[in-house]
Structure 1
Amino acid sequence: MKALSSVLLATGLITVGGLAQAQDKSLVVGTNNWAENIAVANMWKILLEEEHGYDIELSNIGKSVLYSGLSNGDFDLSFEIWLPTTDAPFLEPHRDEIDVHDVWYDGTGLGLVVPSYADIDSIDELRDQAGRYEYQGRPSILGIDSGSAIAGLTEDAIEAYELPLNQVNSSGPAMMAALDSAYQREEPIVVTLWSPHWAFAEYDLKYLEDPQGVYGDNESIHWMSRKGLANEDPWLASVLDAWKMDDDSLGGLMARIEKVGDPAEGAKAWIEDNHTLIDSWFDAAES
């Protein structure tokens, strides 16, 4: 046992629950401005700092910077990569330098979304109804930042369906503010959205059918890290591999944050009410 402890100390590891855990527990987590990404990043920051002694820095950056940063070691991990389609173009140039780990959410959605009161069901129909979907005087699709995967897919959809609309790119909060304003007035609006997202709990919305499959099929969300992190901290990797959420748990976390108005405070309040679920992740990792 003494010899094993010496080896673990020499390599910067200690044992916790039978798994090796890194002594240097400072981590930089790359995040982006998607609602679920903000939610889970703040949740894990609280769990790892307050209960397991980590020092977590959340760094909010663009999608392309996230992948290059993971590949060169500027970031240690990130909690969200959509596969096999949406984020594949971002991963491909760095595939040999980034480790993609287990799925924590299954069954995503992605596409163009309108309020359920809108008399339209398919992206095809936007071609003839474009004049109804004006924003600041022009037929428009409201989207998020131009570097996001969904923004690129929306440009593909505009071309594939020959839509006489422009994509207006802004931040996620700005897009949601425009959606809320239109929704309260029961005005037509089309936005780019994804599931999971708290908006589907707050508003009655529907995806427009995508007969050409531009936005792809349902996908899975994995967590990812710089190369070798799992070997350096197998305890952390095991816990994150055991982490699973569904529409109820993730939707509840995002809704709490939205209600409280602060990601850290909202995540802390949700954690206090969901220890049974959280304990199951840590128990599974340490069993």
Structure 2
Amino acid sequence: MIVITGATGALNGATTDHLLRTTPAADIAVVARDVSKAARFAELGVEVRYGDYADPSSLPAAFAGADQLLLVSSSDPTADAMKLHRTAIEAAVTAGVGRILYTSHQGAASDSPFGPARDHAATEALLAASGTPWTALRNGFYLHSLDWLLGPWRETGVVSVPADGPVSWTSRADAAEAAAVIIASDTPYDGPVTLTGRAAPTFADLARQASAVTGREVGFEVVDPEEWVRSQVASGNSEYLARFNLGMYDAAAGGLFAGTDPLLESLLGREPQSAREQLSAA
């Protein structure tokens, strides 16, 4: 039995869709905080179970019988992600899950200035200490994030960021498909598995690519971080969210998102979507 959490979301929902192309629906169960949102899976014959990391009593039944369990990481920047992840992992161990797969991040590091990267590193440590076989799907930074991380460059003609560095931008759809391939594989993938695009362009590189795909000059500038935060707040974002995102740029400047790996392309059997393609489609 394959049990998938977060299947009502974009990432693990797409992974479930890919698995259903090769795996009988009766061999898959999805776990949701709101089971009504998983109705489309129930209609296909997939078992839908209630489960919430914040409700530990719900998890033993949600994870029961899982040969493989795909745990989605918390996506709420204000949540205590580590508490939620610890609860889920402990419940998986108690339920006797055969293998835990976790949606981690390519930049996972305990010293990262980007908060989620620290949470991913700590969660991987919990998995390593759990005594259960585990796989950490270290997905590259998602391509669709460029829609806000590059700022309003189409209107201003300038990519303006508080720090610059290389990032292995990766399509969420590609990562979801690769996760399905890994889950369905007869060969286990142990420990951290890096799934990234082929290249790691800097924000300056992206400005040049934006110029090429639009046919007009797109400038580039690195502004003072505090000035950038003030501009974000002035445009309607909370200061908390602005500083949360600032950590991403700082981590990029430190090279923490620079690594690339050919595994994603190998799993997909084709080239992953590139940052240039994302800029062209936006």
**Same-fold status (TM-score > 0.5):** no
Rg comparison, structure with higher value: 1
- Greater relative CO, 1 or 2 (CA 8 Å, sep 6+): 1
Q: Taking structure 2 as the reference length, what is the TM-score of the superposition? A: 0.31
Q: TM-score, normalised by structure 1?
A: 0.31
